[in-house]
Structure 1
Amino acid sequence: MDFFIPQKLINKPINILLIGAGGSGSQIATELFQMDSLLRQISDQSVYINLTLVDGDTVSIFNVGRQAFYSGDVNSFKAEVLVNRFNNFGGTHWKAMNEYCDPDKMTFNGYDLIITAVDKAEFRIKLGEVFNNTQHASDLLWLDVGNGKSDGQIILGHAYRNISSTGIRLPNVYDLYSELLKQIDDASEDIPSCSTEAALTKQDFGSNRAVSAQATQLIWQLIRYAKISHHGAFVDVANATVQPLKIDPQLWAVYGYKV
């Protein structure tokens, strides 16, 4: 089964909110910059990406090498570093918000796609509940990216329960995994790394890049070809496997989601 983006999103600039500028977020931002350049060239500047990057964290020395930062970036805000880099050297007009996102206070109006590249299950739950408790119809898409040590998953779905276009509603990460997310203890997972070696024991080299590549490929397929045949993937770097998440109501029912 294929999913087609609404006609109103075709051949126009795409407004993206990227939450998180760490391992996956910084890689996704870099690939979105490359994508933006290609889209501008093949569309005579009519299709491009407007990105807003949100993260309240600053660059530490242990981020260098593992994330898209250099030693000269240490102690600067991650979102600001990346956005300034692309704006100054790539001619974009992207925006940085040097703050942590609070789903209860965040405004999502005006965006076509939200990408969450955060490491806290609590945040996903909170965001999912905000979307679930909103009654208005919207075609806003939510792409969630998560990583383990050498594996990860991406899930693209509709943010809100009610969509304004015709066609099938894609379940998001909260729809499929809310019960599992509620069992995760963020406190035990979120222990600061005191060295690069310690950081690598939590997330091995290449895992962020592999997961981010699958995420941005989904975005490319949607913008370039206006359709996708899967809405996520499960990636295992250590075993060199990628398993697509098919657009299949019977498969979704296994996770407890019914169309």
Structure 2
Amino acid sequence: METKKAHFTAPELLNPTNPINVCLIGAGGTGSQVLTGLARMSHSLQQLGHAGFQVSLWDDDIITDANRGRQLFAECEVGLPKATALITRTNRFFGTSWKAIEKPFNSDTATGRNAIYISCVDTAAARFGIAEVLDDLDLSAHRSDTPRYWMDFGNSRDTGQVVLSTIGNIKQPASEKFTPVSSLPFVTEEFGELLRQSDNDDTPSCSLAEALEKQDLFVNSVLAQMGCSLLWQLFRKGYTGQRGAFVNLRDFRTLPVIL
């Protein structure tokens, strides 16, 4: 009988000495929700004896009144940089020392290395730019900051997807129960043509009502919960048999992306 496929988590992430470096790209509808999920996850992992996360949030956008409601911003934060507002609030609430970077993430600005990259961007061009940066990363050193995973979120008005990829091959243990999978393709490789065809309109909205015509109220939070649950599974179980999900809130359907 054919065994199920599974991807086993990079071992250095399961019991690290120092917090795991996480790069979160995008602080909008999905990114603001993912940041909260990462903070909850980091705190919970620390209570279980894990070192938790050290997150850097990249976004060069400013909060407008149209962002309130669908994104996690308050009236008093209108006019502030999105990344700084979210990171300041998160650090105060959870006692973290995470970093806000008020720049777009691209080959000219990206510095340092992170074990996990999470993208919550609006366009195919931005995704291909991130893929270009990740392709050029040095994967030679086996340390806790060795680049290992890229999780990408994307959505239209009431549908969306989250897809997990590996950065290079990750050595897998022998298993009698599963067929280990060492490499998960980039979303730009697997769904590149689909991304180009369904590229979102990133024109700024003048009001919340206009923004809700582009993206429904809860599509971002649902996707954020799905992706954070997958990441949590990687750390708590040490493996996963799924690498993402497609979500359709219009019909209340979810389809897992099986290995």
Same-fold call, TM cutoff 0.5: yes
1:213 has 2:221 as partner: no
Distance 1:177 1:108 in 2: 27
CA RMSD of the aligned region, Å?
1.8
* Larger helix proportion of the pair: 1
Counterpart for residue 251 of structure 1: none
1:135, distance to aligned residue in structure 2 (A) = 7.5
Partner SS for 1:119:
coil
1:1-259 correspondence runs (5 A): 1-12=5-16, 13-43=19-49, 46-109=50-113, 111-132=114-135, 136=139, 139-159=147-167, 162-163=168-169, 165-166=171-172, 167-184=181-198, 189-247=201-259
Contact 1:143 1:172 in 2 (8 A): no
| TM-score, L = length of structure 2 | 0.86
Structure 1 stretches of at least 4 aligned residues deviating more than 3 Å after TM superposition: 129-139, 182-186
Q: Structure 1 residues 71, 172: CA separation in 2 closer, same or farther (over 3 Å shift)?
A: same
Distance 1:136 1:93, change over 3 A: closer
Cα distance, 1:133 vs. partner? 5.5
Change (3 A) 1:204 1:164: closer
Q: Distance in 1 between matches of 2:107 and 2:33?
A: 23
Change in CA separation of 1:194 and 1:97 when aligned onto 2, cut-off 3 Å: same
Q: Deviations over 1:16-48 (max 9, x none)?
A: 1000000000000011111122112122xx431
- 1:134 is displaced (CA, Å) by 5.8
The superposition leaves residues 73-99 of structure 1 with CA deviations (integer Å, 9 ceiling, x where unpaired) of 100011111111111222111111011
- What code does the residue aligned with 2:154 have? G
Would the alpha carbon gap of residues 30 and 71 (structure 1) be closer, same or farther in structure 2, given more than 3 Å must change?
Answer: same
Partner of 2:30, secondary structure, is: helix
Q: Following the alignment from structure 1 to structure 2, what is the Cα–Cα distance between the partners of residues 7 and 26?
A: 28
Cα 1:27–1:134, aligned 2, differ >3 Å: closer, same or farther?
closer
Shift of the 135–77 alpha-carbon distance from structure 1 to 2, 3 Å rule, reads closer
Please give the alpha-carbon distance, in whole angstroms, between the structure 2 residues aligned to 1:47 and 1:64.
33
TM-score by length of 1: 0.86
Q: Structure 2 regions of 5+ residues with no counterpart?
A: 141-145, 173-180
Residue 185 of structure 1 deviates from its aligned partner by 5.4
Unaligned runs of 5+ in 1: 248-259
Fraction of identical pairs, as percent: 35
Structure 2 residue aligned with 1:254: none
- Give the CA deviation at 1:238: 1.5
Assess, with a 3 A threshold, how the Cα gap between structure 1 residues 175 and 205 changes in structure 2: closer, same or farther: same
More contact order relative to length (CA 8 Å, sep ≥ 6): 2
Partners of 2:238 and 2:170 in 1: CA distance: 17
Distance 1:129 1:180 in 2: 18
Aligned residues of 2:84 and 2:100 also touching (Cα < 8 A): yes
Q: Aligned partner of 1:69: which letter?
A: F
CA distance in 2, matches of 1:55, 1:136: 25
The letter for the 2-side match of 1:174 is: T
